Structures are given as C-alpha cells and as structure tokens.
C-alpha cells in the first residue's frame, strides 16, 4: 500500500476513535498536531511518513486516561499499523515517539532521540499553548472535576510525575506545565511559535487575576474600576 493511502487510513482510524471526545484530546487535537508537524517538517530534514503516523496516533490511548499506563497507546498503534503492513522499523519508531513524548512533570525529562520525535513533540506542545491551549486546559479540568481556580491553593510547579498527576485547580496547570513549554521546544521554528503563544497566555493570566482581585477585594475593586474608567 502506498504511504499516502496509509496516512489517509490512519487519519480515518484516529478520527473514528477520537471524534467528539470532550477533554481536549479529540480528533481535532490530533488533526492540529498532524498539521503543526507537517508545518515544522518544512524547516527540518525528517521522514514525513513517520512524523505523520506518530502525530496522528500520539493520543490514541493517552496514559492520562489509562491509569498512567504509557504502553496502551503504542500497543493500539502497533496493532493498527500491522493491519496496514507498515514496516516494523517504522512501527517501532512511531511507538518509541508515542511512549516518550508526553510531559510528565517539571523534573521529569522527556527527551526525543530522533528529529521525527522532536517535531511531533513540538507540534503537540504547540497545541497545549496559546488560545487553544487555554481552551484545552479548562476542557480537561471540567472533564476531570477540577476547579477553574482556587485562591486558597497557591500555584505550584510540580517536580515528580506522582505530584503532576495529583488533582490541582486548572490555573495551576499554567505553572506546572504551560509556562515551561517554550524553553523545552526542540526545533527553532517550534520555539518561535511557542514564544508567541507563551506571550498570549501571560496576557490571559494577567487579565484573569485582575478580574479575580476585583471580585475578592472590595477596596481594590474601587481602585481598579477607577483605573479602568481612566484608561477607557
Ligand atoms: P501531553 O502529551 O504533554 O500530556 P497532550 O496532548 O496529551 O499532551 O495534552 C495535554 C493537555 O491536556 C494539557 O496541555 C492540558 O490542556 C490538558 N491537561 C493535562 N493535565 C492537565 C491538568 N492537570 N489540568 C488541566 N489541564 C490538563
Ligand atoms: Ni496530544
């Protein structure tokens, strides 16, 4: 079977498994990661067949939804790619990328061995950032019964995977992961795009905390209203 058809069949398979999912790990996330990855490929020397397969399949059975098991995704992917008669070396490479790409806490390195892995990891991280990343964070938070924000719980950067898996409020996710991503990007193009998305998340949180402060501190409320009135 030619590579183009295998990619189409893979997209159809992933779409059928992920369509309509509501935590931000839906088909459209997989599609964006696929397209982001193809964009990054323009600036790198990489095997685009492997990149596309790994990008499409990367969240097919995410460890976050399988009791922390990072092996379920690669084994679903392997089974599917075998039906497509994909070469074993390529299947092994796709599974290696899937197994090692996920962010699991600040102190937990997730280095990528190959340029194909680096591209797919960057493509996925871009979709965790910026306007889309913010939307996905609150979607995931709602799906997993997290509060949007709890002012009694100061944001913490989590060091270990065990701490990262614990249930914090969604705003904490900016500190434990999202703001760390721009310095973890592998490719030059990915880093440039990540910087723009990072700046937007900072602006967003500034506005968020301004509104929170206004709501919880009546003295501040007067000051802020005066400031807003003066500015606008
Ligand atoms: P990764 O492979 O790095 O885990 P994914 O593509 O699987 O990346 O998606 C991770 C996204 O899921 C996060 O960027 C965020 O949008 C959401 N998410 C994961 N953990 C949390 C959390 N604790 N709080 C809020 N959102 C989360
Ligand atoms: Ni993903």
113-142 confidence digits (pLDDT tens): 999 999 999 999 999 999 999 999 999 999
176 CB within 6 A, ligand 1: no
Decide whether any atom of ligand 1 lies within 6 Å of the 26 Cβ. Answer: no
Q: Which residue segments constitute the domains of the chain, with CATH numbers given?
A: 3-231 (1.10.3210.50)
Q: How far is the CA of 8 from the centre of ligand 2 (A)?
A: 19
Find out whether the beta carbon of 59 lies less than 6 Å from any atom of ligand 1: yes
Measured in Å, residue 26 CA sits from the centre of ligand 1 at 12
Mean pLDDT along residues 15-23: 94
Query: Is 118:112 a contact under the CB 8 Å cutoff?
Result: yes
Residues 1/90, Cβ–Cβ less than 8 Å: no
At 232, is the pLDDT very low, low, confident or very high (cuts 50, 70, 90)? Answer: very low
Ligand 1 atom index nearest CA of 129: 14
Helix (H), strand (E), coil (C) string for 15-35: HHHHCCCCCCCCHHHHHHHHH
- pLDDT tens by residue, 69-106: 788 999 999 999 999 999 999 999 999 999 999 887 77
Q: Please name the residue whose Cα sits nearest to atom 26 of ligand 1.
A: 137
Alpha-carbon dihedral sign for residues 92, 95, 101, 104:
negative
For helices 48-57 and 27-41, angle between their N-to-C axes, nearest 10 degrees: 160
Q: How far, in Å, from the CA of 38 to the mean position of ligand 1? A: 22
Please report the pLDDT score of residue 229 as a whole number: 47
**Who contacts 30 (Cβ-Cβ below 8 Å, separation ≥6)?**
14, 15, 18, 55, 56, 57, 58, 59
Q: Which ligand is nearest to the CA of 58?
A: 2
Contact of 52 with 34, CB cutoff 8 Å: yes
What pLDDT shows up at residue 121? Answer: 97
pLDDT for res 57:
97
Ligand 1 neighbour 103 (Cβ under 6 A) = yes
Ligand 1 within 6 A of CB of 130: no
């Amino acid at each position: 079977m030619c590579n183009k058809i295998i990619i189409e069949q893979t997209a159809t398979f992933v779409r059928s498994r992920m369509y309509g999912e509501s935590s931000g790990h839906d088909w459209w996330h997989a599609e964006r990661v696929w397209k982001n990855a193809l964009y990054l490929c323009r600036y790198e020397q990489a095997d685009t067949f492997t990149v596309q397969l790994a990008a499409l399949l990367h969240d097919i059975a995410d460890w976050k939804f399988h009791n922390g098991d990072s092996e379920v995704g690669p084994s679903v992917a392997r089974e599917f790619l075998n039906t497509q008669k994909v070469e074993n070396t390529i299947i092994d490479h796709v599974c290696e990328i899937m197994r090692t790409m996920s962010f699991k806490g600040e102190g937990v390195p997730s280095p990528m061995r190959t340029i194909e892995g680096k591209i797919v990891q960057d493509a996925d991280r871009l979709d965790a950032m910026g306007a889309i990343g913010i939307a996905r964070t609150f979607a995931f938070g709602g799906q997993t019964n997290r509060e949007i924000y709890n002012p009694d719980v100061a944001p913490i950067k989590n060091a270990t995977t065990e701490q990262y898996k614990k249930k914090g409020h969604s705003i904490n996710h900016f500190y434990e992961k999202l703001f760390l991503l721009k310095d973890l990007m592998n490719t030059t193009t990915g880093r440039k795009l990540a910087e723009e998305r990072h700046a937007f998340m900072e602006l967003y949180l500034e506005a968020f905390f301004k509104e929170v402060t206004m709501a919880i501190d009546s003295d501040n409320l007067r000051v802020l209203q005066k400031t807003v009135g003066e500015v606008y």
